[in-house]
Amino acid sequence: SPSSTTQRPHSSRMPRTTPQPLLALAAALLSVASAQTPSAGVPSDVKHIRCETCESLVSAAHRRFAELRKGSKKALSEEDAMSVVETVCDPEADGGAWLRSLDLQEQGRRLRLVKQAEDGPCGVECATLRLACQALMEEGWENELDEALYGAVDADELAESACREWSSACRKPAPKLDPARPAGPPFRAYTQEERAARLGG
């Protein structure tokens, strides 16, 4: 027989919705969080970029120490040079900011470092550059680099010494890329929201 249970009338309340400004803010914060999440590099690419990474890190360290020296009211010490070298492979530090503005580009059978007009989040290619930088520093010539920076050795002369004498990075051509290697991702600069968030709003 039919049920005699009394049915409740449907609620006329509208479902809750999140205001659009909050959705936009959440999306921006999520974008920034994903941009700041460390990416894993590609270890197999390191051997292809050792020389250019060496030259780039030496140039970046030389430039950073020269900037500090120019902006300081007192004479810098060798410890100041050491601090530059210690952060040169950290993309989130001033000394390692150079890592965020390089793109790895396949040019024929070679993998080249190409400077970009703007910096961007440290994705897979930046992380690969970090691996290459760290591997070079682990060869044990940090002290020589410290002393050369402190002694104001010319940048080109320093790169020649570092990458051909202290390190073997540039003593012979880099190996050719495997034709089956997939191309890397395109370079992405920071969005305006990401850049504003990095600068503290």
Is a pLDDT exceeding 60 seen at residue 142?
Answer: yes
Q: What are phi and psi of 113, to 5 degrees?
A: -95, 120
48 φψ region: left (φ > 0), alpha (ψ -120 to 50), beta (else): alpha
Q: What is the mean pLDDT of the chain?
A: 85
Taking residues 138-150, what's their average pLDDT? 95
pLDDT digits (tens, 9 = 90+) for 148-159: 999 999 999 999
- Which burial class, exposed, middle or buried, applies to 21 when counting CB atoms under 10 A from its CB (0-12, 13-18, 19+)? exposed
Q: For the whole model, what pTM was predicted?
A: 0.79
Dihedral of the CA atoms 86, 89, 92, 95 (nearest 10)? 60
Confidence band (pLDDT; 50, 70, 90) for 17?
Answer: low
Taking residues 81-106, what's their average pLDDT? 96
Q: How far apart are CA 191 and CA 53, in angstroms?
A: 26
Q: How far apart are CA 79 and CA 66, in angstroms?
A: 14
